[in-house]
Amino acid sequence: MKIAIMGAMPEEIAPILEKLGTYTTTEYAKNKYYEASYRGVDLIIAYSKIGKVFSTLTASTMIEHFGAEKLLFSGVAGAISSELRVGDLIVATKLSQHDLDITAFGHPFGFVPEGAVFIEADTQMIEMSKEVATSMRKTVKEGIIATGDQFVANEQRKNWIGNTFNADALEMEGASVAVVCDALNIPFFILRAISDAADVDASFSFDEFLESSAKESAEFIMKMVDKLVD
Catalytic residue numbers?
A: 12, 196
Instruction: Tell me how many residues contact ligand 3QA (CB under 6 A).
Output: 18
DSSP secondary structure of 15-43: HHHHHH---EEEEETTEEEEEEEETTEEE
CB of 149 to ligand 3QA, least distance (A): 9
CB of 199 to ligand 3QA, least distance (A): 8
Task: Please return the burial class of 22, using the count of CB atoms within 10 Å of its CB with bins 0-12, 13-18 and 19+.
Answer: exposed
Positions 167 through 186 that interact with ligand 3QA (CB under 6 A):
170-173
Phi/psi at 88 (5° precision): -70, 150
Positions 25 through 64 that interact with ligand 3QA (CB under 6 A):
50
CB of 48 to ligand 3QA, least distance (A): 8
Closest C-alpha to 161, from 85, 100, 74? 100
The Cβ-side half-sphere exposure at 156, using a 13 Å CA radius, reads 0
Of 91 and 172, which CB lies nearer to ligand 3QA in the complex structure?
172
CB of 172 to ligand 3QA, least distance (A): 4
Of 172 and 225, which CB lies nearer to ligand 3QA in the complex structure?
172
The residues that bridge with 71 in the sheet, in sequence order, are: 4, 188
Confirm or reject binding of residue 81 to ligand 3QA (CB under 6 A).
Answer: no
- Name the amino acid, one letter, at 199: D
- Interacting residues toward ligand 3QA by CB under 6 A: 8-9, 50, 76-78, 151-153, 170-173, 195-196, 198, 202, 206
